[in-house]
Amino acid sequence: MSAPASRTVRIGSSHGLHARPAKLFAQAAKDAGIPVTISKGAGGAVNAASILSVISLGAESGDYVTLTADGPGAEDVLDTLTELLTTDHDA
């Protein structure tokens, strides 16, 4: 079994990972069908498919978060999620 795929990305939304971008992100993570986690700084990783967990990170614009996906197609899942996080959904 291969190691989980991981990627560090910068939050692009000008108001951070609040309700709307968090909902889009969590839904995409849920739709991925494989376990995905997100963490910020030294904080613990949380379930990326849980909107409440994602909002609880308190990720602001410009913050860096680390995504980890484990399973078939993990790199493709990270590509999709990275695009969601780096896009400014507040523009």
Active site residues: 18
For residue 2, report the phi and psi dihedrals to the nearest 5 degrees: -80, 160
Q: In the numeric block, which tokens belong to residue 52?
A: 């409440």
Nearby residues of 40 by Cβ (< 8 Å), 6 or more positions away: 57, 58, 59, 63, 64, 65, 66
For residue 20, report the phi and psi dihedrals to the nearest 5 degrees: -65, -55
